[in-house]
A and B are shown apart, each in its own frame.
Chain A
């Protein structure tokens, strides 16, 4: 159930708001404001143009259009857009860095057989099984 919900619900941190501390949960997060601390989500995180994150991030997919300082771990994919900036090490199953993006740090890949497979593909299976439940 929670896996399904995590895809549904997206939280938004708007531009002039700042969070200092930890953010946790099975949720997607869209950041246009400022975060300082730590972010651990089992959903996705999207750091928009005005977003500034000074924190270690762990999430399923990480998409960066703004500025991130800290180590990031994407269980599936890390994406840095042309306006995006990442200062810190990254760990990801897949990376996509667009032309113009800034990335300073080390990159580690999660091998698909070892870590990514239990993290990502079985979840998809579960999700699709839920959806396929026939209406009684």
Chain B
């Protein structure tokens, strides 16, 4: 609900939202090649090629035939296509079955479907949930390891 702050229409009715998003959604067909940077507010569906950068407030859907070389930054990213470079999602990121990724991913929420391929590294920069659990486990396992060789 409060994720988007301003947008009343989304909470009121989904129909309004789809009508709105149709107006606001850019669509780059599979025959289109873009070399350079794409920025602004709005949603994008890309089926074509991009050599460069996306920097958007909104959703980016990288559909199956799409090939991206470069950097994609957006609130929500979902990938079905091929990406070489980095993906940075502020809110969440989804790799679907046909996704092929080579490079870096940074997102607080990640989901990967079976069949997706991903070569690279992930950073999940969600500071609130991480440090307590991770450190506690480390300290719990460490002493056990040291006691084991002592018996010998």
Give the residues in chain B near A51, CB-CB below 8 Å. none
Give the residues in chain A near B42, CB-CB below 8 Å. 14-17
Chain B count of residues within 8 A CB distance of the other chain: 24
Q: B36 is contacted by which of A20, A33, A43 (Cβ under 8 Å)?
A: A20
Q: Shortest distance in angstroms between B90's beta carbon and chain A's nearest beta carbon?
A: 17
Main secondary structure on chain B at its contact with chain A? Answer: strand
Give the residues in chain B near A43, CB-CB below 8 Å. 31
How many angstroms between the C-alpha atoms of A5 and B41 in the bound complex? 29
How many angstroms between the C-alpha atoms of A14 and B26 in the bound complex? 5
Count CB-based A-B contacts (< 8 Å).
Answer: 84
Once the chains bind, are A17 and B44 in contact (CB under 8 Å)?
yes
Q: List 26 A-B contacts (CB under 8 A).
A: A5-B31, A6-B31, A9-B29, A11-B26, A11-B27, A11-B29, A12-B26, A12-B27, A15-B42, A16-B40, A16-B41, A17-B26, A17-B38, A17-B40, A19-B36, A19-B37, A21-B35, A23-B35, A24-B32, A24-B35, A25-B29, A25-B31, A25-B33, A25-B48, A27-B32, A33-B40
